[in-house]
Amino acid sequence: MDRNKLIAIVGVSENPDKTGFKIFTDLLRAGFKVAAVGIRGGAIAGKRVYKSLKDLPAKPDMILTVVPPAGTDKTVDDAIDLGIKEIWMQPGSQSETAVQRAKAVGMKVTESGCFMLVHGIW
């Protein structure tokens, strides 16, 4: 994985016990270029948490979802509107509807395997 790619993590929480928090902070520490998206906004580790993909100041190269399947459906809709070409759905965030919609527009979709384990971060 190219660490210079901007990865938007959708489902970031300020709660350190939540997976979205752990993924965001661990990728940040590992030197990945990441942007946080969480419905409440705020800040984590000195970085702003944006309330939606559309609020990000730069278009991400990839999205990593850490939300329930219904949230992934919405995320794919936003990604299509923004022209984002790649999405990784963490285990538990997959939605068959989202997978099919993303693939229908040519988006690269990873729907199995934990990003963190596959890339040797955890």
Domain annotation covers residue 23: yes
Q: Evaluate whether residue 62 is within a structural domain.
A: yes
**Is 72 among the domain residues?**
yes
Which CATH number fits the domain that encloses residue 40? 3.40.50.720
Closest CA to 114 of 28, 31, 19: 19
Q: What is the pLDDT of residues 14-63, one digit of tens each?
A: 999 999 999 999 999 999 999 999 999 999 999 999 999 999 999 999 99
In-domain check, residue 37: yes
The answer to the question of residue 122 being in a domain is no
pLDDT for 3 equals 83
Is it the case that residue 11 has pLDDT exceeding 80?
Answer: yes
- The model carries a pTM of 0.93
Q: Which domain holds residue 59?
A: 6-117
- Location of structure tokens 């278009």: 59
Is 42 part of any domain?
A: yes
Structural domain total, the chain: 1
Q: Is residue 56 part of a domain?
A: yes
pLDDT 10s digits, 62-88: 999 999 999 999 999 999 999 999 999
Task: Report the side by side order of strands in the sheet with 62-65.
Answer: 43-44, 47-50, 33-37, 6-10, 62-65, 86-89, 108-110
Residue 1 in this model has a pLDDT that exceeds 90 = no
Tell me whether residue 92 is in a domain.
Answer: yes
